[in-house]
């Protein structure tokens, strides 16, 4: 028996009244965000997830495995192969459908289509379509219908609309997620689908919009910081579970036709359903040997290159999410300084979302290329722009507009000082701004070094999209390479705070 945390939910197992047919039982298995090849503190990982899938299928006649996506980025290896290894490993698990959410689009829509063709399971996005045709991107599906005995289960996926700002996906149009899910759910039910399941993410509160639309019977989503969460209002179920398959959600569904359901869960097809909820702790689950062997082979490919030491930390480093998205940060300062020096710029700008390590390092730690790649895992290349003072201010105002939500657009600067009042309305939060010790003038021109992701106007930095490029991304290094080279030149790394950014609330 798998070790589980049983969640008692009032009404989820209410006996159904007399039915015209024998109830059918099946299990929905859900996990998401499996970016790491190794477990985290003894839990999770694709190899453990493989074991859970195998054991569940041995214990139950019908098991549908749904993967919530968020896995093709960011990770150290994905920096090099754009998530190809993730698809390769997941191909061995027997997945029935996978959501294509914002992180699946990170490497661009062309790369996502390539990954979709390599997968032996469907990748689903209901609201992201080819801008030219209005149809799903090649290789992807807007919906998948799975068989659960005599019943049909429709699977949808709502990709956050913020994906258009945070990825290089010019070919794709991201339509309203909740509206697209509602339209497709009606279409599926008209075609005889009995139960609709939607997968989504919490970016931009997309999950709340999809839940509120009440179009899907079950909504499965990601919500950082909660190991397990379940909501039930008597008609629909919404649930989240921890990332990296640290916990796996199992919904044991009982479904039948023609029943009188006092909880009003009978849908247009005359189907009533209930669900028992299990949260499977993967800590005691042994990794699947075959999948674990393949994962270790991928890790071995990186060891020679990424195990190389580049320098010693002379001061502590904090790259936790809240540390890089809400105020001055020593590591972000050092990255911006390295970028400015490499590009010989007047000022440099990096966004907090570029930094993804989400960890703390003690002084004295010997840093390797793996550490740097973990912190800066994206294919973000340096760019040198010519901007006016007004463009710089507009860009920064956009960056500081999402402080309350700890958005990744939060900007860090080099050779500049800025005072931000977060209590003021978005768009009017910068109180003081200087570059090189002088106040920024609207008509003045500055050489701005930044990453290619921001330079193209992503993540809300539309003010920079039209700025002339003095050095294009095709002619410069990755941000991670720039930082690694600078540390290696001296053999030491001492990030520090110097008061360049002050945020008041």
Question: Which of 91 and 8 is assigned the larger pLDDT?
Answer: 91
Please report the pLDDT score of residue 306 as a whole number: 83
Residue 108, token pair as written in the block: 């661009």
Angle separating helix axes 177-190 and 206-213, nearest 10 degrees: 40
Give the sign of the dihedral formed by CA 354, CA 359, CA 364, CA 368. Answer: negative
Most confident of 72-76, 221-225, 443-447: 443-447
CA separation for the pair 375, 336 (Å, rounded): 14
Taken as a whole, the chain contains a residue count of: 505
Query: What is the pLDDT averaged over residues 25-43?
Result: 91
Please report the pLDDT score of residue 178 as a whole number: 98
HSE-up of residue 500 (Cα within 13 Å, Cβ side): 23
Query: What is the pLDDT averaged over residues 92-108?
Result: 95
- Mean of the per-residue pLDDT values of the chain: 91
Question: Please, which residues bridge with residue 255 across strands?
Answer: 24, 273
**Residue given tokens 């936790």 in the structure block:** 320
For residue 291, report the phi and psi dihedrals to the nearest 5 degrees: -70, -40
Q: What's the pLDDT tens digit per position in 44-78?
A: 999 999 999 999 999 999 999 999 999 998 887 88
Q: What's the pLDDT tens digit per position in 479-501?
A: 998 999 899 999 999 999 999 99
Whether the pLDDT of residue 5 is over 60: the answer is: no
Please report the pLDDT score of residue 261 as a whole number: 46
Q: What's the pLDDT tens digit per position in 338-383?
A: 999 999 999 999 999 999 999 999 999 999 988 999 999 887 889 9
Please report the pLDDT score of residue 6 as a whole number: 54
Please report the pLDDT score of residue 312 as a whole number: 96
CB atoms within 10 A of CB 347: 21
**Cβ–Cβ under 8 Å, residues 136 and 169:** no
CA distances from 360 to 52, 73, 315, 363, 416 (A): 31, 21, 11, 10, 26
Q: What is the dihedral of CA 165, 166, 172, 174, to 10 degrees?
A: -60
Q: Which domains does the chain have, with CATH numbers?
A: 4-296 (3.60.21.10), 307-504 (3.90.780.10)
Question: Please, which residues bridge with residue 212 across strands?
Answer: none
Q: Helix (H, G, I), strand (E, B), or coil: what is residue 202?
A: coil
Helices vs. strands in the chain: H and E counts, helices first = 14, 30
Query: What is the pLDDT averaged over residues 223-235?
Result: 82
Residue 480, token pair as written in the block: 């991670």
Please report the pLDDT score of residue 15 as a whole number: 37
For residue 232, report the phi and psi dihedrals to the nearest 5 degrees: -145, 130
For residue 411, report the phi and psi dihedrals to the nearest 5 degrees: -95, 145
Query: What is the pLDDT averaged over residues 86-107?
Result: 96
Angle separating helix axes 46-59 and 289-306, nearest 10 degrees: 170
Q: Which helix (H) or strand (E) holds 47?
A: helix 46-59
CA separation for the pair 49, 180 (Å, rounded): 30
């Amino acid at each position: 028996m798998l070790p589980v945390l049983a969640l008692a939910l009032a009404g989820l197992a209410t006996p159904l009244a007399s039915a015209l047919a024998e109830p059918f039982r099946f299990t929905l298995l859900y996990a998401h965000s499996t970016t790491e090849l190794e477990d985290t503190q003894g839990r999770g990982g694709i190899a453990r997830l493989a074991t859970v899938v195998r054991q569940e299928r041995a214990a139950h006649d019908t098991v549908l495995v749904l993967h919530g996506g968020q896995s093709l980025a960011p990770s150290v290896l994905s920096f090099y192969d754009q998530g190809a290894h993730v698809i390769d490993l997941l191909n061995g698990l027997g997945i029935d459908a996978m959501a294509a959410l914002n992180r699946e689009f990170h490497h661009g829509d062309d790369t996502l289509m390539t990954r979709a063709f390599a997968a032996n399971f469907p990748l689903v996005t209901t609201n992201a379509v080819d801008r030219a045709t209005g149809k799903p991107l090649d290789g992807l599906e807007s919906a998948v219908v799975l068989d659960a005995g005599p019943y049909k289960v429709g699977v949808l996926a709502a990709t956050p609309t913020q994906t258009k700002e945070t990825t290089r996906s010019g070919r794709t149009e991201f339509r309203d997620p909740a509206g697209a899910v509602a339209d497709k759910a009606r279409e599926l039910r008209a075609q005889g689908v009995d139960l609709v399941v939607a997968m989504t993410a919490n970016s931009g509160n997309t999950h709340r919009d999809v839940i509120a639309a009440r179009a899907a019977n079950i909504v499965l989503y990601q919500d950082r910081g909660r190991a397990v969460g379940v909501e039930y209002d008597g008609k629909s179920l919404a649930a989240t579970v921890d990332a990296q398959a640290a916990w796996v959600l199992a919904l044991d569904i009982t479904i039948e036709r023609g029943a009188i359901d006092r909880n009003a869960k009978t849908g247009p097809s005359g189907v009533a359903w209930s669900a028992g909820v299990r949260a499977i702790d993967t800590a005691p689950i042994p990794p699947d040997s075959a999948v674990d062997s393949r994962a270790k082979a991928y890790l071995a490919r990186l060891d020679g290159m990424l195990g190389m030491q580049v320098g010693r930390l002379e001061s502590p480093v904090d790259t936790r999410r809240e540390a890089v998205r809400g105020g001055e940060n020593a590591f972000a300062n050092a990255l911006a300084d390295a970028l400015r020096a490499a590009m010989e710029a007047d000022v440099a700008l990096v966004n907090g979302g570029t930094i993804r390590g989400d960890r703390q390092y003690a002084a004295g730690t010997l840093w390797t290329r793996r550490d740097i790649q973990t912190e800066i895992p994206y294919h973000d290349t340096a760019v040198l722009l010519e901007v006016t003072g007004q463009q710089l201010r507009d860009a920064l105002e956009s960056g500081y507009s999402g402080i309350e939500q700890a958005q990744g657009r939060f900007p860090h600067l080099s050779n500049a000082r800025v005072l931000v009042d977060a209590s003021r309305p978005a768009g009017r939060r910068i109180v003081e701004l200087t570059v090189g010790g002088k106040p920024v003038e609207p008509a003045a021109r500055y050489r701005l070094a930044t990453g290619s992701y921001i330079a193209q106007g992503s993540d809300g930095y539309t003010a920079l999209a039209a700025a002339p490029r003095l050095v294009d991304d095709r002619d410069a290094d990755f941000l991670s390479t720039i930082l690694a080279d600078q540390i290696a030149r001296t053999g030491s790394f001492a990030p520090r705070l110097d008061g360049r950014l002050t945020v008041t609330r």
